[in-house]
């Protein structure tokens, strides 16, 4: 593509009217002055005040900005211990003990933007550029399916060659892959394709909706307007508002499963937690649907990026656990995603304060699954990984911690999305269906892909889960025990993809 054509495309990305329609009196929903005031005015909360706030979280009510600011200001480590415990209980209440797994698939590192923290930025000449063909995307998908994954998050830089048509075509190709399972009788496939891509117009988002996009994920990176401007000097991403309202546009395009996030390490972490909360509140206010998930990647070293190595706001492990805890308590209904950017020890610790999704067997180089190379090549990937363990290893570890892996994608296919799933999550019903479907998909995984050791630990866990289900009135009252037993039996006999 010529430089001129690329320039012309870049200049036409933003549709101002698709920003203006969401503003209130010409303003967006992030007011730095208000956030700073809330953080200052809620310093030194007393124990009782914090405990009252925890009770509100435990009743699965979203916290207000003042309440969240109070939690962010807690200094007493003993009180933090209570908060970790409450966060864990909130997670158990809404999502039970399950963890959903996904794999990221990076399709292209071509990008017209210049984000200061990213190895893919346009001016980084050290980066080896590549965009996968549809055949290569299918090959990558086969490798991911071979591990046992059922869910992808597909990632693209912003570029005319990876525009909405390319993304839509890649989603269709991913869904078309069928691969004989490693040990079991059937075929593995990807049942849900989530997308992390640049903000788009409503027309382009409709193209993704038509081909069955799962969750649409856009991270604001930082909610601070001025800092945002500094870190994003050129390209469509330099427009803060275009990005801030990308998920509002997705709602208007029919995509009601949305994911927000911030890149921690660019700015004070307490400010960014408040930004995420305000984002959730505005989605609730305008559409009655909050984010399905929140992500909180920590900045890691990226090719040719100074700030990614030297920022004064890099978040320590201790503060990272705190920020995840406050997010869990503040937006109790939302899923929280911890990724393989983090080291195994920290992942173990932070999962306990309320994460619901994670990845494993992760490769983030373009073509990284099918062209397995030793180690990580900084010049081919967006950041560096802290955990390169296989899916089987991570699943086994979680089973040993009492957590069941779920590959369930039933909710989306039964229409439990958008306002329906929000209602179910807030009333702690969705977690119950998830518990059943987790068992069914876990059984599939154990038969089709697990190592002998993982199978042994996993089977014990299934027994325990079955006992819990049989003892719980909810499942008996809704005649779900018999249904579960029937489906479980059928899966043991080789049927696949049964869900409740």
CB under 6 A: which stretch of 35-43, 109-117, 324-332, 449-457 binds ligand SF4?
A: 109-117
Q: Can you give 68-115 as a three-state secondary structure string?
A: HHHHHCCCCHHHHHHHHHHHHHHHHHHHCCEEEEEEEEEEECCCCCCC
Q: Which of residues 219-238 bind ligand SF4 (CB under 6 A)?
A: 237
For the beta carbon of residue 133, count every other beta carbon within 10 angstroms.
11
CB under 6 A: which stretch of 35-43, 53-61, 117-125, 368-376 binds ligand SF4?
A: 117-125
Tokens of 122: 């346009």
When asked if residue 121 is in the footprint of ligand SF4 (CB under 6 A), the reply is yes
Rounded to whole angstroms, the maximal C-alpha distance in the chain is 67
Exposed/middle/buried for 374, CB within 10 Å: 0-12, 13-18, 19+?
Answer: exposed
CA-closest candidate to residue 315, choices 307, 323, 306: 323
State the minimum distance, in angstroms, from the CB of residue 340 to ligand SF4. 18
State the minimum distance, in angstroms, from the CB of residue 246 to ligand SF4. 12
When asked if residue 266 is in the footprint of ligand SF4 (CB under 6 A), the reply is no
Binder of ligand SF4 out of 113, 162, 381, 406 (CB under 6 A): 113
Q: Can you give 322-365 as a three-state secondary structure string?
A: HHHHHHHHHCCCCEEEECCCCCHHHHHHHHCCCCCEEECCCCCC
Binder of ligand SF4 out of 120, 166, 433, 475 (CB under 6 A): 120
Site string for ligand SF4, 152-191 (x = CB under 6 A): -----xx---------------------------------
Q: Please say whether the dihedral angle defined by the alpha carbons of residues 369, 375, 381 and 387, taken in this order, is positive or negative.
A: positive
State the minimum distance, in angstroms, from the CB of residue 302 to ligand SF4. 8
Q: Of 67 and 221, which has the nearer Cβ to ligand SF4?
A: 221
For the beta carbon of residue 136, count every other beta carbon within 10 angstroms.
18
When asked if residue 118 is in the footprint of ligand SF4 (CB under 6 A), the reply is yes
When asked if residue 261 is in the footprint of ligand SF4 (CB under 6 A), the reply is no
When asked if residue 243 is in the footprint of ligand SF4 (CB under 6 A), the reply is no
When asked if residue 144 is in the footprint of ligand SF4 (CB under 6 A), the reply is no
Q: Of 85 and 238, which has the nearer Cβ to ligand SF4?
A: 238
Tokens of 356: 């619901």
Total residues at interface with ligand SF4 (CB under 6 A)? 9
State the minimum distance, in angstroms, from the CB of residue 398 to ligand SF4. 30
When asked if residue 115 is in the footprint of ligand SF4 (CB under 6 A), the reply is yes
Instruction: Look at residue 194 and give its three-state secondary structure.
Output: strand
**Count of residues for the chain?**
500
Residues contributing to the site for ligand SF4 (CB under 6 A): 111, 113, 115, 118, 120-121, 157-158, 237
């Amino acid at each position: 593509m010529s430089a001129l054509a690329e320039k012309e495309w870049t200049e036409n990305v933003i549709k101002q009217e698709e920003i203006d329609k969401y503003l209130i009196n010409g303003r967006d929903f992030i007011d730095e002055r208000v956030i700073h005031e809330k953080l200052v005015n809620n310093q030194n909360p007393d124990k009782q005040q914090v405990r009252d706030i925890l009770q509100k979280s435990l009743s699965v009510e979203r916290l207000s900005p003042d309440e969240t600011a109070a939690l962010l200001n807690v200094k007493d480590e003993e009180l933090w211990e209570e908060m970790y415990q409450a966060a864990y209980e909130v997670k158990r209440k809404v999502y039970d003990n399950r963890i959903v797994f996904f794999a990221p698939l990076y399709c292209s590192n071509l990008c017209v933007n210049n984000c200061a923290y990213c190895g893919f930025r346009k001016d980084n000449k050290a980066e080896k550029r590549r965009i996968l063909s549809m055949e290569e995307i299918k090959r990558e998908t086969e490798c991911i399916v071979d591990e046992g994954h059922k869910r992808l998050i597909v990632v693209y830089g912003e570029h005319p060659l990876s525009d909405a048509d390319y993304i839509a075509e890649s989603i269709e190709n991913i869904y078309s892959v069928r691969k004989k399972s490693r040990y079991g009788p059937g075929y593995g496939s990807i049942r849900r394709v989530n997308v992390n891509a640049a903000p788009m117009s409503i027309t382009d988002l409709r193209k993704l909706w038509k081909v069955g996009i799962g969750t649409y994920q856009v991270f604001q990176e930082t909610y601070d307007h001025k800092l945002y401007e500094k870190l994003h000097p050129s390209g469509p991403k330099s427009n803060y508002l275009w990005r801030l309202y990308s998920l509002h546009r997705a709602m208007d395009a029919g995509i009601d499963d949305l994911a927000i996030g911030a890149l921690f390490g660019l700015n004070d972490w307490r400010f960014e937690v408040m930004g995420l909360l305000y984002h959730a509140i505005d989605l609730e206010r305008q559409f009655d649907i909050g984010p399905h998930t929140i992500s909180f990647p920590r900045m890691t070293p990226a090719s040719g990026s100074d700030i990614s190595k030297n920022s004064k706001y890099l978040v320590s492990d201790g503060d990272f656990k705190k920020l995840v805890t406050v997010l869990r308590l503040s937006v109790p209904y939302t899923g929280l995603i911890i990724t393989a950017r983090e080291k195994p020890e920290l992942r173990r610790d932070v999962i306990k304060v309320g994460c619901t999704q994670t990845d494993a067997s992760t490769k983030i180089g373009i073509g990284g699954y099918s062209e397995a190379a030793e180690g990580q090549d900084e010049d081919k990937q967006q950041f560096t990984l802290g955990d390169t363990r296989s899916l089987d290893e991570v699943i086994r570890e979680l089973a040993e911690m009492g957590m069941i892996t779920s590959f369930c994608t039933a909710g989306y296919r039964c229409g439990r999305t958008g306002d329906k799933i929000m209602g179910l999550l807030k009333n702690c019903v969705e977690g119950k269906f998830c518990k059943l479907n987790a068992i069914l998909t876990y059984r599939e995984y154990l038969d089709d892909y697990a190592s002998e050791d993982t199978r042994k630990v996993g089977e014990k866990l299934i027994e325990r889960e079955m006992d819990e289900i049989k003892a719980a009135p909810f499942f008996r009252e809704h005649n779900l025990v018999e249904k579960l037993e029937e489906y479980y039996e059928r899966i043991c006999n080789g049927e696949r993809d049964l869900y409740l």
